[in-house]
Amino acid sequence: MWRQAEQGVERQVDEQVQRLPHRSVPRPAARIVLKPGGTGFPARLANAILGDEAADPIAPLSPRETECLEWTAQGKTTWEIAQILCLSDSTVNYYIRNAMKKLTVHTKAHAVSKAAVLGMFG
């Protein structure tokens, strides 16, 4: 009895799938935005990250600020970054805050994504 019920459900699913409109042509790939840093992001993602500030000049990040953001991008905590770079936690926070101010963002995650879109990572 269960077997017949399973076969009936499978048949109904097959019929519904056949009724769905099928695309014979695959969707085009997202347009890639190439930034001077050489990283490519889909245009919508880059625009969402950069927002209206895409045309505004951004102050260059110091090597330490960039390094702290790179470690943040790899999922390291402030304490871990401090241990890796032989700095104090407050110094790492200082570099990350400065980078956030220069990038005009409010969170570390936004700072990392904006720096990546702008090609600031090596």
pLDDT digits (tens, 9 = 90+) for 7-62: 565 666 556 555 555 544 444 443 434 444 445 556 666 666 666 555 567 788 99
Does residue 78 or residue 119 have the better pLDDT?
A: 78
- pLDDT band of 100, cuts 50, 70, 90: very high
Contact 94, 110 (CB under 8 A): no
pLDDT at 10: 60
Cβ 72 vs Cβ 59: under 8 Å: no
- Evaluate if pTM is beyond 0.75: no
Where along the chain do its domains lie? 61-122
Return the structure tokens found at 97: 């805050």
H helix or E strand, kind and range, residue 48: helix 43-50
CA distance readout (Å), 104 to 1, 8, 54, 62: 65, 59, 11, 15
Instruction: Give mean pLDDT, residues 98-121.
Output: 91
Mean pLDDT of 78-103: 95
Residue with tokens 């009895």: 1
Asked whether 65 and 102 are in contact (CB, 8 A), the reply is yes
Which CATH architecture does the domain made up of 61-122 adopt? Answer: Orthogonal Bundle (1.10)
